[in-house]
Structure 1
Amino acid sequence: MAEIKLTFTEEQYKKLVETIFLGSWMLNSTRLEDLDEEAEEIRELVLSRYKEANLEDKVVYQEEMEIHDLTIDYESELLDQYIEEYDEFSFWDKLVEKLTEKEMVQTFGADVVSAPLTDEMLKTQLELEEKIGQELEEKGITNLHLPLDKK
């Protein structure tokens, strides 16, 4: 297998470390024990060069586990900076998608979820997404009503 060598500036390397952390987090955040080992190997390879980029304040070597890792402060900074915003955006995007799907099923029947959409269905879906998205943007979730069984 051919070996590939890359050269980075310190700033590019720092961005690579951030990208590797975020990608690794995305791949492994929902896995309890079965981590993506290939991704972890790449993460380790990248993080192991931290001294060359003067990132001793952001990356540390954990001798007991024989791995490189981000400092807790740096990891928290990245979580706050990127993942919180991503989660917030994803929540609203997924909520619009699910509420639209619910309306589509009520309008066209349960087959709408698995069947190819007709032009009419697609037009209705886009209109619903726009309407639901706008409503949620203007009023948040305060207007959502779930008919809960009150026993």
Structure 2
Amino acid sequence: MAKRSKRRLPQSDRSFFTRLSQRVAHWSGKPQTFFGAAIIIVIWALSGPFFGYNDTWQLVINTSTTIVTFLMVFIIQNSQNRDTAAMQIKLDELILKLEGAREELLDLEELDEEKIEHFRSEFEAMAAKARQTLQKVATEDKAPPSTKK
């Protein structure tokens, strides 16, 4: 049998930034990365007495964390944008395939807040009605046999 490579080959349709952001997002979400960052903080804190807790010692951690945070905002946003867009496409496909589904909901994320709230109110009303029906059925099922219709 031929050996199968466990390494994923990069897709040619992904940009460099997409590949980079996916890798960074993947690694930044790992427990090892968290513990690595925690160890860096502990080492920094323990090094305080050697540097006399001076301004440069504080500046090192402040600058480092600010830079990492600044860059991670863009990585996380890119990842979230892609995930949200992919989920919307998948949901749109499901809506199109469901008989009786309302196709006017396909681009709901593109509507103004006021129009989205109109749809939300409509669905909340349907949910409340469904809960009332369910509660009514549950109440009738628990009623003594002599009071059931």
**What's the TM-score, normalizing by structure 1?**
0.33
The structure where helix makes up a greater share of residues is 2
The structure where strand makes up a greater share of residues is 1
Greater RCO structure (CA 8 Å; 6+ sep): 2
**What's the TM-score, normalizing by structure 2?**
0.34
| Rg (Cα) greater in structure | 2
